[in-house]
């Protein structure tokens, strides 16, 4: 049953929502379309939801757009996804002046094509002072890879005597992650009926509320988002306490 919008407490929205946008391929199969069309439809879903979440005052969104493991897909699909990213960034660069969304990329950008790295730099720079929703796109992202890269940066700072071993604690470690300065997600939404984390934000999601739904990502609607927020608001978060 769909949750009515008036049951949502708009004063207690999750501060940060993370998305595993799963099911583009199965959506395509269901509607007799190509996988490429599935990804294209998926990118429109992200666009619509981002606008709505910015409108209602969600502060942070992280979307898993391309994982460190997605390189193992057929080359044609990887190429299509990279093309979609180029198109997405081009459009956002074009509309950055009038939008109020701040866009950041997490993941190992050095593994992306140089022109995409340039687009990311340009867009991050153009939107760095925006005051609306912060959208973190996870690209060439894997949580294990992120943690290893953090440990490498910590090791480098130790060798250069910038920090001491005894200073390393959770707070310091977090500052070396790609998500430094961004609060941990309150709610994770994964579409398409898969119930796993797939190497996404493993450190940051220690106390995140998890929500899994059956809809394929391109079909995930604003109504479905409200359903997820409603369920989130029924949970009692104890963070290990009583």
Site string for ligand FPP, 47-86 (x = CB under 6 A): ------------------x----x-------------xx-
Footprint (CB under 6 A) of ligand FPP, residues 149-188:
none
Find the part of the chain contacting ligand FPP (CB under 6 A) among 6-14, 40-48, 95-103, 201-209: 40-48
Helices (DSSP H) in the chain: which residue ranges? 24-30, 35-56, 75-95, 114-127, 143-159, 170-176, 222-234
From 201, 187, 220, 171, select the one nearest 45 (Cα to Cα).
220
Smallest separation (angstroms) from ligand FPP to the CB of 172: 31
Q: How far apart are CA 22 and CA 42, in angstroms?
A: 9
Q: Is 22 in the site for ligand FPP (CB under 6 A)?
A: yes
CA-to-CA dists, residue 30 to 25, 33, 38, 63, 216, angstroms: 9, 8, 10, 23, 10
Cβ atoms 12, 205 nearer than 8 A: no
Between 191 and 208, whose beta carbon lies closer to ligand FPP? Answer: 191
CA-to-CA dists, residue 89 to 118, 134, 219, 226, angstroms: 10, 15, 23, 27
Between 154 and 189, whose beta carbon lies closer to ligand FPP? Answer: 189
Find the part of the chain contacting ligand FPP (CB under 6 A) among 19-27, 140-148, 174-182, 204-212: 19-27
Cβ atoms 28, 34 nearer than 8 A: yes
Between 21 and 143, whose beta carbon lies closer to ligand FPP? Answer: 21
Cβ atoms 132, 163 nearer than 8 A: no
Give the residue numbers annotated as catalytic, written as ranges: 22, 70
Question: What distance, in Å, lies between the first and last C-alpha atoms of the chain?
Answer: 31
Smallest separation (angstroms) from ligand FPP to the CB of 29: 7
> Which residue's Cβ lies closest to ligand FPP?
25
Q: How far apart are CA 131 and CA 134, in angstroms?
A: 8
Smallest separation (angstroms) from ligand FPP to the CB of 158: 36
Q: Is 42 in the site for ligand FPP (CB under 6 A)?
A: yes
Smallest separation (angstroms) from ligand FPP to the CB of 193: 10
Please tell me what DSSP assigns to residue 2.
P
Binding site for ligand FPP (CB under 6 A): 21-26, 39, 42-43, 46, 65, 70, 84-85, 88, 137, 192, 217
């Amino acid at each position: 049953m769909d949750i009515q919008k008036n049951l949502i407490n708009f004063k207690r929205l999750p501060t940060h929502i993370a998305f595993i946008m799963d099911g583009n391929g199965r959506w395509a199969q269901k509607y007799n379309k190509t996988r490429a069309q599935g990804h294209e439809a998926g990118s429109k879903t992200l666009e619509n939801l981002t606008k709505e979440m910015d409108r209602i005052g969600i502060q942070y969104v992280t979307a898993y757009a391309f994982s460190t493991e997605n390189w193992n897909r057929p080359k044609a699909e990887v190429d299509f996804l990279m093309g979609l990213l180029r198109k997405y960034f081009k459009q956002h660069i074009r509309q950055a002046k009038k939008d109020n969304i701040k866009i950041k990329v997490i993941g190992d950008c050095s593994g992306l094509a140089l022109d995409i790295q340039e687009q990311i730099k340009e867009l991050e720079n153009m939107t760095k002072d925006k005051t609306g929703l912060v959208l973190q796109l996870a690209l060439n992202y894997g949580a294990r890879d992120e943690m290893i890269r953090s440990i490498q940066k910590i090791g480098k700072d130790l060798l250069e005597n910038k920090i001491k071993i005894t200073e390393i604690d959770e707070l310091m470690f977090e500052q070396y992650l790609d998500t430094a300065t961004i609060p941990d997600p309150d709610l994770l939404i994964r579409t398409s009926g898969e119930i796993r984390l797939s190497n996404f934000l493993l450190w940051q999601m220690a106390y995140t509320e998890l929500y899994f739904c059956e809809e394929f990502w391109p079909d995930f609607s604003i109504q479905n988002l409200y359903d997820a927020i409603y369920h989130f608001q029924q949970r009692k978060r104890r963070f290990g306490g009583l």
